[in-house]
Structure 1
């Protein structure tokens, strides 16, 4: 059936082209058959590749509508991991470091395997690794080149973790001994497009250290390496991750027992932080809570929020996590929901100042305008139609608190008459004048 369809299309195109130009000659019958056969095989190959088997994880390219907002946030600066940026010429210098790290790994006395066995292991998982990646870019690589790339990248990461865990930050180490290279690489390893499936790295690690007699499990090495991100000091026990972007997201997620249930698209916060303050809302920081653990006490009017620290790299870290969440279901878009709520609170630099003054935001970006820009731009082109029931409830309660008549009058008083020192002074002066005028009027009546 497919062969007949291809033949008819080709014949139609031949007839059309002959009508356009009499100088063109028709294909020979044998030539048609050869070309048709090749085309049929190509289409069948496409069909086969579209039947991706179920895989343990998915590693996606960042969608264009997100990349166009800030392409640098999704692009590695120093090292390429996996196929998406493997051919980037600007990252080729790091390939020399990979070779040195892999050579060092194979020379370790405790490694209980050889290079042939490691290659064979990757070869056996080749198809499942292929299908972890969203696009067919990996299919453009020759099988040997793909296996070599995965092997080199995985062993490089293992050797990096081992060196870090053994405090091998020596001056002669090309990465850990560099003041600029190490922090940049930390960011590169968390980028969504710069990932290896964790099960691949773990498989090679377990093959090299089958008894773990002289080494910790890989997940513990991983936690130690990324410890600076683990602000809540989560334990690696029973933690399962797809890759390092997923790990970074895991560090900020609420414990399973505390994760809110249910979604709603009806309640959005209508008022910014300064507007809520004018209505009497008090902002309180709770540094011991998870970042996403928010609470509003409507009786006391206290919004309880953990501390968020904004560094130069913060935007890139969270952009990649939010890009990852775009491929997950609504129940798993927790980081996105948090920044949507924060975007509700921050509309002006005064909102940033208020949150910084209360310790909820710690701004290392230089000025409040930069912090406002980061928070407001994180949600551009982000899709999150529904937010979780807890955040929705907080939005509803804050809106109701502001819209109470007494709180609304208080907000108007603060906004119109008490929002600057000059207005406060003029308001007091006007009030004093009004009182003196009233007293004078009373005395006039009495006398």
Structure 2
């Protein structure tokens, strides 16, 4: 048996056959999409701790990890506080049996194969799902039963938003109906009530503003809490009300004047001159072409865009789809983002979910790329705070570290980044500085040639004066 074989000591061949046969015979599982993914190492590599729960496991992926298992007694205590005596006594018949009947559907929701029997899996989903419902419905009753450290530090909310910790909404619905809506409320009303509670949770804990019911389909079939938050963020669109833009200084008429001397210097055949003089030229591009280096997003920081590009920043009402750079106003419009202690985990898991499911442009990842590119230091954060674009209780250093540490997601170049770079790079002062920095100040090639030519000219002049006499130059009387 090979080391990577799935037929290890904990694997039950009979259980595998039973599960496959159920999936084969059951047609309903084909209608349920896989929605709870395991995060690949390519995404979690730089910060693996952001993609796993710290204190509480929800669902089967992390359920039996030793450091998380101590929370099971708090889950059970919270659940029993929510149920009446009849529901507690009939819990197995009301909930567990119903979930066992849905076993193929449960397994279809999860990306990983789960080597658990039907009864164990049903109990995991029942306890964790009901705890999650209780968190949405009766937070005030659950909070006193939880450790204070868990509530006060926001760790509970952090763990609830981890991708591998998601409980599919279709399973929450099954639990909801079996306990609360079995005979009193029509199922459609129950579905809307459950979705409304999840939306309220998302509104409180989302780093970006969410879409309202008026600008997205209210009947959308969301897959789980993270999927709901993701789509409410992406679909947030509004009519942008631009704030009054500060009068930008008029463009100095320097383009033509600054370009001419640079063109003259550039057109000097430095390579031919160096070859004639027998000089070895240093390749300035070697460092830039080094494949081992991790390249940053090619865009200036906020402070550089403002100071040198004369570009203004303004917050807007809309969402990330409405980010745009108005060249006529020299203004970049960005949505407001609220950053708190657990925001980085929420953002990382939202993007991990987007990368696992999106077949088109990863819109949230592109937004994070943009923010990671323009935020380099605490100064950049302060400038965006002053413009009302960044809010929240994280300090400036933490926010700068957050964006500098985010994964850079590859893909089609963002249009806004291209527009900003084009505008910035075509500013006369920037063009002059780039030339001086790249082609003169950093170029040993030009410096060496200029110094060598100058020395050669001095030697020729001195030799000429020695032969023919140059009293003033040689200080002879």
- For Structure 1 versus Structure 2, the TM-score category normalised by the shorter chain is 0.5 to 0.7
Q: CA 1:184/1:43 → structure 2, altered by over 3 Å: closer, same or farther?
A: closer
CA distance in 1, matches of 2:14, 2:194: 43
Does 1:209 pair with 2:184?
Answer: no
Cα separation, partners in 2 of 1:364 and 1:346, compared to 1, 3 Å: same
The equivalences for 1:208-227 within 5 A come to: 208-210=180-182, 211-212=184-185, 217-227=193-203
Q: Secondary structure, in 3 states, of the residue corresponding to 1:196?
A: coil
| Cα distance change, pair 339–255 in 1 and its aligned pair in 2 (3 A) | same
Look up the match of 1:71.
Answer: 48
In 2, Cα distance between equivalents of 1:220 and 1:255 = 17
With the length of structure 1 as denominator, give the TM-score of the two structures.
Answer: 0.68
Q: Deviations over 1:52-90 (max 9, x none)?
A: 845234211111233231122112122111111101111
Query: What does the per-residue CA deviation read over 1:178-204, in whole Å, with 9 as the maximum and x for residues that have no partner?
Result: 464362211111100111111100122
Contact 1:285–1:304 under 8 Å retained in 2: yes
SS of aligned partner of 1:193: helix
Aligned to 2:403: 375
Distance 1:73 1:44 in 2: 35
Matched, 1:81 2:58: yes
TM-score, structure 2 normalization: 0.64
Kindly tell me the number of residue pairs found equivalent between the two proteins: 354
Kept in 1, the 8 Å contact 2:39–2:51? The answer is yes
SS in 2 for 1:181: helix
**Does 1:120 pair with 2:93?**
no
What SS does the aligned partner of 2:312 have?
A: strand
- Counterparts of 1:117 and 1:148, CA distance in 2: 12
Q: CA deviation at 1:273?
A: 2.5
User: Is it true that 1:306 corresponds to 2:335 in the alignment?
Assistant: yes
CA distance, structure 2, for counterparts of residue 257 and residue 363 of structure 1? 22
How far apart are residue 316 of structure 1 and its match? 0.9
Shift in CA distance, 293/407, structure 1 to aligned 2, threshold 3 Å: farther
What is the alpha-carbon distance in structure 2 between the residues aligned to residue 379 and residue 135 of structure 1?
A: 24
The alpha-carbon deviation at position 345 of structure 1 amounts to 1.6
What is the CA deviation profile of residues 139-193 of structure 1, one whole-angstrom value per residue up to 9, with x for unaligned ones? x2222111111111112222332213xx5467xx313x84643622111111001
Residue pairs, 1:45-124, within 5 angstroms: 53=30, 55-107=32-84, 115-124=92-101
In structure 2, do the counterparts of structure 1 residues 287 and 407 end up closer, same or farther at CA, with 3 Å as the change threshold? same
| Cα distance in 2, alignment partners of residues 41 and 150 from structure 1 | 22
1:395 aligns with 417
Q: Which stretch shows the higher mean deviation, 213-222 or 122-131?
A: 213-222
Is 2:134–2:142's contact at 8 Å kept on the other side of the alignment? no
Mapped contact 2:384–2:390 kept (Cα < 8 A):
yes
**1:120 CA drift (Å):** 2.0
User: Where in structure 1 are there 5+ consecutive unaligned residues?
Assistant: 1-5, 7-38, 259-267, 416-447
Indicate conservation of the 8 Å contact 2:381/2:396, yes or no. Answer: no
Q: Where do 5+ consecutive residues of structure 2 fail to align?
A: 2-11, 240-296, 438-477
C-alpha contact 1:269 1:396 (8 A) present in aligned 2: no
Q: Distance in 2 between matches of 1:345 and 1:238?
A: 37
The answer to whether residue 374 in structure 2 is matched with residue 345 in structure 1 is yes
What's the RMSD between the two structures over aligned residues? 3.8
